[in-house]
Amino acid sequence: MLSNYVLPGDRIELQSVNRSLIENETKRIYETKVFDILSNDKMEIVMPMDKTKLILLPVDAEYDIHFYTKSGLFQCFARVIDRYKSNNVYILALELTSNLRKHQRREYYRFSCALEMNARNLKEEEVIAIDKNAVQLVPGLPLKRSVIVDISGGGLRFVSTQRYEVDSLIYCNYQLLVNGKTKEYNLVGKILKLRELDNRPGEYEHRIQYVNIDMDVREEIIKYIFEEERKYRRREKG
């Protein structure tokens, strides 16, 4: 039953599965939240926005939807059946076209944040160790300050004045509050994407994927993300 797992206010992501739409549209992901659960297979969501502009998703279009709930990550397919305004809120009515299922790839949910991180390129001997499925980091080397802007169990996105090249391996050092305690993490990441910020020349946004991360560490990061999400929802309701 939909209402057993998904609640009003839960954050969701939608991606079009309509093959007739243009390529860029099918790849775009919209972020919004659940407005209300109407029945076992119908719900209302807040119409997504791009800054201050409403995004009028078409009636009859089908979407792949991911729900970020206190019970974990869930997924289903749903079709837009109506658009309307209710109490000054623009609403999309959706009808599920598949069963709701637990999504096991929780680590790929990206949590927006602003966390300090120190980083550096790996030395050649460290890269060799990584290639042998070992992590042997050289201590005491100088680090560059960075800021994490989103984090997941699979990797993170950060901004730095240091430019790290795509496919290079870097050492990442940051702290998270898990179970009420601050814990330090020393991880290795591979640079997947790089771009210079349009409005801040000389600053670079990087996206990395963790390399050889311990599964317990990954679960701790995922736990941190869901704890912070719950805090965010409580603040919104309060």
The CA-CA-CA angle for residues 173, 158, 195, to 5°, reads 140
Q: What is the pLDDT of residue 23?
A: 40
Q: What is the pLDDT of residue 188?
A: 94
Examine the fold and report which residue of 104, 130, 164 is the final residue of a domain before the chain moves on.
104
Task: Please give the tally of structural domains in the chain.
Answer: 2
Q: What is the pLDDT of residue 232?
A: 76
- The CATH number of the domain holding residue 21 is 2.30.110.10
Examine the fold and report which residue of 83, 104, 125 is the final residue of a domain before the chain moves on.
104
d(CA 231, CA 225): 10
User: Contact at 8 Å (CB) between 56 and 20?
Assistant: no
HSE-CB of 116 using CA atoms within 13 angstroms: 4
Residues (pLDDT < 50) of the chain are 19-26
Q: What is the pLDDT of residue 27?
A: 53
Q: Which residue has the tokens 């050289």?
A: 138
Q: Which two tokens stand for residue 177?
A: 């509050």
Print the domain residue range for 224. Answer: 108-234
Which pTM does this prediction carry? 0.57
Q: What is the pLDDT of residue 131?
A: 75
Q: Based on the domain organization, do 47 and 20 belong to the same domain?
A: yes
User: Contact at 8 Å (CB) between 62 and 77?
Assistant: yes
Q: What is the DSSP string of 113-152?
A: EEEEEEEEEPPHHHHHHHHTT---PPTT---EEEEEEEE-
Q: What is the pLDDT of residue 122?
A: 96
